C-alpha cells in the first residue's frame, strides 16, 4: 500500500456514511473531509502512526530524506516552518539571496529575523556568493535552488544551517544526471545538511498548495510539526494531501516518467534553437525564451502566444518562461512548438537592463511591516522608507524590502518592474 491517504478516502466514500461532520458540503466532494476517526492529523507529532505519517514516510524514502512533512499551504508554509525552527534554535540573522521569494521576507517579519542580503550580478538570478566571507555574521543561509528563469545557485557546505527554497525543483530528485547534467541537483543530493521547502504542484502532478518540507541527514526536525502548525490552517485540505499521496504512487510505479518528460523538453529546446529562437540556459523542465531577440517584449510575446492557444508561466520585458511538468508528453511539446512558430519574427531589440539595487536599510523588516503606513505613487516615494512588500507573483520577488530607504535608483527600478504605488512609513 503506497497511497494510504487515497486508499482511506476511497474506502470512506464507499461506506456511504452519514456525514455529521465538516465540511458543510456533506460529501458533494467525497474525498474532501476533516480529521475524522482514522484520517489522522497533518500536525500529529507522533511520526510513527496514521495514514498521513505513513504517506510522509513513503515520500521521505522516495526523495532520500531523513524526514518529510507535507504542507497543504504550499512552499510558503514550508519556508515559514523551516525558518521558525531555526529561530527556535537561536538563529537571529539569515543570509539570503536578494532575489528570494517574498515568503522569506514575510517570515522574517513574523519571526523577527534580520536578513543579510547576498546580491547577484543580475536580476532575478539565484546565483550569489556563498563563501565564508560573504556569510560572515549570519547564523543560517537561505538558498534558492531554481530561479524563475531557470538558473541555479551552487554552494559548498557553509557550516551553518541551510534552508533551500526548492519550490521549482522537486522533480530534480528523479532526473538522470548522466542524461541532463549535474548542474541541477535536488537539495537531498547537495552532500551537506539542508532543509528543503518545495512545491509539488509546480512540476509534479499535484494540486495547487501541495508541498514538501524535507530534512536531510544531520538536520533537526524534532519541532517540524509544531512549527508547521504555528502557521498552517487547522483545516488542511485532504484533497491536497491526497494529491501528494498519489504522486508517491505514480513515481513508484513509473519512476522514469520524469526523465521522459525532460527528454521531450530537451527535444523541444533543440528544435526551437534550430528555428532561430534564443534560449536562456535553464533547468530540464523549463524553456526560457529571449523574446526581444525575436523582436518583441516578453509581455508582447506572451500575448501572441496566448492568442495561439498557449499560456506561459511568466513574462517580463525580456523573457517568456514556459514551465513544463513531470507528466509533459511529446504532444505537449509539439503543441508548444506549433504555437511558437506562429509568432512572426521582427528586428531584434536589445535586452532591457534590470538593475540590482542596494537600498539603505533604515529599520528592521519586522518594524517596518507592522508600523503605520500609507500608499503613495512611486514618484512620491522617493526618499521615503518602504513599509510593505510590493510584488506580484510570479515571480514574487520584492524589489525594495520593508525598512529600506527608497532612493531615486529604487524609484526607477520600481517603475521598470511595473510597480505603480508603494506603501511607505508614516
284 with 136, same domain? no
Q: Please determine, for residue 56, whether its predicted confidence score (pLDDT) is greater than 80.
A: yes
Label residue 48 by pLDDT band (50, 70, 90).
low
Residues of the chain by 3-state class (helix, strand, coil), percent to 5: 35, 15, 50
143 with 29, same domain? yes
155 with 171, same domain? yes
Compare 419 and 110 and report the one with higher pLDDT.
110
Q: Supply the range of the domain harboring residue 214.
A: 4-253
Label residue 417 by pLDDT band (50, 70, 90).
confident
220 with 324, same domain? no
333 with 418, same domain? no
Label residue 78 by pLDDT band (50, 70, 90).
very high
Show Cβ contacts of residue 212 under 8 Å, excluding neighbours closer than 6 positions.
Answer: 59, 63, 68, 69, 70, 71, 78, 170, 196, 197, 198, 200, 244
Label residue 1 by pLDDT band (50, 70, 90).
low
Q: Please determine, for residue 393, whether its predicted confidence score (pLDDT) is greater than 80.
A: no
Beta strand 162-165 with 195-199 is parallel
Sheet holding 67-71, edge to edge: 67-71, 211-215, 195-199, 162-165, 140-144, 93-97, 114-118
CATH of the domain at 390: 3.90.100.10
User: Of 253, 273, 303, which closes a domain?
Assistant: 253
Residues 143-167 have a mean pLDDT of 95
Does residue 350 form part of some domain? no
Give the pLDDT of residue 4: 96
Distance between start and end Cα atoms, the chain: 58
3-state secondary structure of 227: helix
Q: Closest Cα to residue 267, out of 327, 186, 202, 180?
A: 180
Does residue 348 form part of some domain? no
Tell me the C-alpha to C-alpha distance, in Å, between residue 272 and each of 160, 269, 283, 350.
42, 5, 16, 20
- Mean pLDDT of all residues in the chain? 95
Does residue 351 form part of some domain? no
Give the pLDDT of residue 47: 57
Residues 54 and 70: their CA atoms lie apart, in Å, by 11
Compare 350 and 416 and report the one with higher pLDDT.
350
User: Of 212, 230, 253, which closes a domain?
Assistant: 253
CATH of the domain at 270: 3.90.1150.10
Residues 150-178 have a mean pLDDT of 95
- The alpha-carbon radius of gyration of the chain (Å, integer) is 22
3-state secondary structure of 75: helix
117 with 227, same domain? yes
Give the pLDDT of residue 195: 98
Can you name the residues that pair with 128 across neighbouring β-strands? none
Residues 287-306 have a mean pLDDT of 98
Tens digits of per-residue pLDDT, 12-33?
A: 999 999 999 999 999 999 999 9
Does residue 353 form part of some domain? no
Does residue 181 form part of some domain? yes
Amino acid at each position: 500500500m503506497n497511497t494510504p491517504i487515497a486508499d482511506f478516502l476511497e474506502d470512506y466514500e464507499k461506506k456511504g456514511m452519514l456525514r455529521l461532520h465538516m465540511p458543510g458540503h456533506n460529501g458533494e466532494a467525497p474525498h474532501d473531509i476533516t480529521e475524522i476517526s482514522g484520517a489522522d492529523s497533518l500536525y500529529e507529532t507522533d511520526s510513527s502512526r496514521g495514514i498521513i505519517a505513513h504517506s510522509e514516510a513513503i515520500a521521505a524514502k522516495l526523495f532520500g530524506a531523513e524526514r518529510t512533512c507535507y504542507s497543504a499551504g504550499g512552499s510558503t508554509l514550508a519556508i515559514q516552518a523551516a525558518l521558525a525552527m531555526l529561530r527556535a534554535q537561536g538563529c537571529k540573522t539569515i543570509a539570503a539571496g536578494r532575489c528570494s521569494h517574498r515568503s522569506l521576507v514575510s517570515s522574517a517579519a513574523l519571526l523577527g529575523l534580520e536578513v543579510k542580503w547576498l546580491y547577484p550580478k543580475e536580476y532575478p538570478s539565484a546565483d550569489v556568493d556563498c563563501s565564508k566571507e560573504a556569510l560572515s555574521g549570519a547564523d543560517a543561509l537561505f538558498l534558492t535552488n531554481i530561479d524563475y528563469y531557470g538558473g541555479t545557485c551552487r554552494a559548498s557546505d557553509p557550516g551553518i544551517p541551510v534552508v533551500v527554497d526548492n519550490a521549482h525543483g522537486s522533480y530534480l530528485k528523479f532526473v538522470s544526471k548522466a542524461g541532463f547534467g549535474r548542474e541541477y541537483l535536488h537539495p537531498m543530493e547537495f552532500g551537506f545538511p539542508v532543509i528543503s521547502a518545495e512545491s509539488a504542484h509546480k512540476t509534479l502532478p499535484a494540486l495547487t498548495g501541495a508541498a514538501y518540507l524535507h530534512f536531510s541527514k544531520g538536520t533537526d526536525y524534532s519541532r517540524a510539526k509544531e512549527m508547521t502548525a504555528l502557521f498552517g490552517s487547522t483545516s488542511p485540505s485532504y484533497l491536497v494531501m491526497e494529491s501528494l499521496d498519489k504522486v508517491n504512487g505514480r513515481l513508484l510505479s513509473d519512476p522514469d516518467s520524469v526523465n521522459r518528460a525532460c527528454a521531450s523538453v530537451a527535444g523541444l529546446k533543440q528544435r526551437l534553437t534550430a528555428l532561430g529562437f534564443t534560449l536562456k540556459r535553464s533547468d530540464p523542465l523549463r524553456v526560457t525564451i529571449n523574446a526581444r531577440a525575436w523582436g518583441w517584449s516578453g509581455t508582447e510575446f506572451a500575448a501572441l502566444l496566448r492568442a495561439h492557444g498557449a499560456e506561459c508561466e511568466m513574462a517580463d520585458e525580456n523573457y517568456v518562461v514556459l514551465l513544463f511538468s513531470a507528466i509533459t508528453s511529446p504532444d505537449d511539446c509539439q503543441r508548444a512548438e506549433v504555437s511558437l512558430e506562429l509568432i512572426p519574427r521582427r528586428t531584434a531589440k536589445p535586452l532591457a537592463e534590470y538593475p540590482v539595487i542596494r537600498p539603505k536599510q533604515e529599520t528592521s523588516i519586522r518594524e517596518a511591516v507592522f508600523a503605520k503606513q500609507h500608499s503613495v505613487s512611486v514618484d512620491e516615494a522617493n526618499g521615503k522608507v518602504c513599509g510593505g512588500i510590493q510584488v506580484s507573483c510570479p515571480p514574487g520577488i520584492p524589489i525594495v524590502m520593508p525598512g529600506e530607504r527608497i532612493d531615486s535608483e529604487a524609484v526607477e527600478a520600481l517603475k521598470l518592474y511595473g510597480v505603480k504605488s508603494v506603501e511607505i512609513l508614516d
